[in-house]
Every structure is written in C-alpha cells, then in structure tokens.
Amino acid sequence: MALSEDTPEENTNTSLPEGGSGRRGRVRFRRAALMGVPALAAAATLVVLTAQGALAAQFAISGMPFTVTADSMEGRGFGQFGALDNMAEGSPNAGDTGGQVLVIVTAIREAELTRLCQSVELGGTFLHITAGGEGTPVKASGLTTDSTDISGKLADFDNIEIGGDASTFEKPPVKGPLGSFGQQADTVTIKDLRQTNYATTAVRFTLPDLHMSFSSKGC
C-alpha cells in the first residue's frame, strides 16, 4: 500500500523554511491515507460477506466432471454468468486445457431440488449419490454450480434481466466479474434438470434420504 511507503517521517521536513515545500509531504501523506480508506473498507466488506457465506469458495477443481440431475429445481434469487475454473498446478486431468475450464456459474440464494442424483466416473465405476426422493426435497442456501452444460425440459423465470453486468447483480448470492455478461431473476424453476458440473459450493446443503454407493452407470 502507498501508506507504507509514504510515512510522515519521510515526507515532513521540519528544516525547510516556512512557505517552502515542507507542506507537500503532509499533503501527500493525507492523500495516501485517504486512498487507503476505500481499500480497507473493501477488505472489511469481504470479510463480512465471507463470514455470512455470501461469497463462493475458491478452490482448485479436480478437473473431473460430474453429472447432476433433478426432477425439478426451484430457486429464489437467481443469477448466471461466465467464469474460469482452475485445476491444481500439474493436474493429470489438465490435458490440453492448460488447467482451465470455461464454466457457466449458476448462483441461487435459496434452492430446492426433488429427486437429486449426482454421479462421477472413477475408472469405469460411478460414485452415485441420491437424495430428496421420498417427498422431502434437497435444500441449499448460497448455492453455486460451475457447469459446462445445462439442460431441462422447461425453464421458467420471474422478472428476468438478461445482459446485465454481473458485477452489479443483487438478486443472487454472488456477483460475477466486472464487465461480464450475465442474467438474474427473482425466481427460477427448471423441470428435468441435467448439468455437467466441475464444482458446487453452498453455505448449507441439506440432503434428506441420502444414499451413496458405487454403480455401473451414472445419473
């Protein structure tokens, strides 16, 4: 920060005559201090938002895609924008991608999913997870999914805004990068949802009737 370089001792010269350049040091210091205020305020805001779960976790993805399906997904506070996910340096799954995957980030403040299924292929065998299939839906708050493919038989949005700068969004739990194309809506409903994902994060994920096993086929 400029504050560590422009200290009062370095910039205030008491040996200079009155009316000389001695005041410049004090002005510079005050200006540097004022410039530091927004940075400190932004850092404090990030700490608060992270504590409240308003920011998605950042982590190196494995580079192994997984499939998520649901009979239906209903959400409040919806947003979508593009982003880049990164694998750990030297990941064997990088291939010719350079360790980066272009993804569609879907962020939902509160979501409910019925008959959720998730599967990932592990050398010809699938790790299979199901939940929310006995009349009680899966619930998630602060949910984000990083996908390369999303489909559904029907998608319904309430008060949707398309083409906005994702960094200005207020409806979803997270914002996108400055200048990125995005869309947001009050609510979203998708029937027969199917996603190819590389990452999922949530502040809270409740999975009733959870079942995890290995299977010969995926979702």
pLDDT band at 129 (very low <50, low <70, confident <90, very high): very high
Which residues pair with residue 76 across a beta bridge? 110, 187
Shared domain for 80 and 168, answered yes or no, is yes
**Domain assignment present for 28:** yes
Q: What is the arithmetic mean of pLDDT over 128-135?
A: 93
Share of the chain above pLDDT 70, in %: 74
Structural domain total, the chain:
2
SS3 118: strand
Shared domain for 70 and 178, answered yes or no, is yes
pLDDT at residue 12 in the model: 43
Q: What is the pLDDT of residues 60-87, one digit of tens each?
A: 999 999 999 999 999 999 999 999 999 9
pLDDT at residue 218 in the model: 96
**Domain assignment present for 59:** no
Question: For all residues of the chain together, what is the average pLDDT?
Answer: 82
Shared domain for 24 and 95, answered yes or no, is no
pLDDT band at 163 (very low <50, low <70, confident <90, very high): very high
Share of the chain above pLDDT 90, in %: 71
pLDDT band at 55 (very low <50, low <70, confident <90, very high): very low
C-alpha span between 61 and 76 (Å, rounded):
27
C-alpha span between 91 and 98 (Å, rounded):
10
Which residues pair with residue 187 across a beta bridge? 76, 158
Structural element, H or E, at residue 26: helix 22-51
Shared domain for 30 and 82, answered yes or no, is no
Shared domain for 194 and 89, answered yes or no, is yes
Residue, of 53 and 140, whose pLDDT is higher: 140
Which of 25-34, 79-88, 176-185, 193-202 shows the lowest per-residue confidence on average (mean pLDDT)? 25-34
**Domain assignment present for 58:** no
**Domain assignment present for 70:** yes
pLDDT band at 180 (very low <50, low <70, confident <90, very high): very high
pLDDT at residue 69 in the model: 98
Shared domain for 84 and 171, answered yes or no, is yes
pLDDT band at 43 (very low <50, low <70, confident <90, very high): very low
Shared domain for 45 and 70, answered yes or no, is no
Shared domain for 128 and 34, answered yes or no, is no
Cα Rg, the chain, nearest whole Å: 24
Domain range holding 39?
2-51
Residues counted in the chain:
219
Model's pTM, two decimal places?
A: 0.74
Residue, of 101 and 39, whose pLDDT is higher: 101
- Among 203, 195, 82, CA closest to 139: 203
SS3 80: strand
Torsion, Cα of 170, 106, 84, 100 (10° steps): 160
Shared domain for 137 and 167, answered yes or no, is yes
pLDDT at residue 41 in the model: 39
pLDDT at residue 31 in the model: 43
> What are the tokens at 116?
């959720």
Shared domain for 15 and 116, answered yes or no, is no
Shared domain for 204 and 107, answered yes or no, is yes
Please tell me the chain's helix, strand, coil percentages from 3-state DSSP, rounded to the nearest 5.
20, 50, 35
Structural element, H or E, at residue 134: none
pLDDT at residue 3 in the model: 40
> What are the tokens at 153?
């038989």
With a cut of 80, say whether residue 118 has pLDDT above it. yes
Shared domain for 181 and 134, answered yes or no, is yes
All residues at 6 or more sequence positions from 171 whose CB lies less than 8 Å from its CB, including other chains? 77, 78, 79, 109, 184, 185, 186
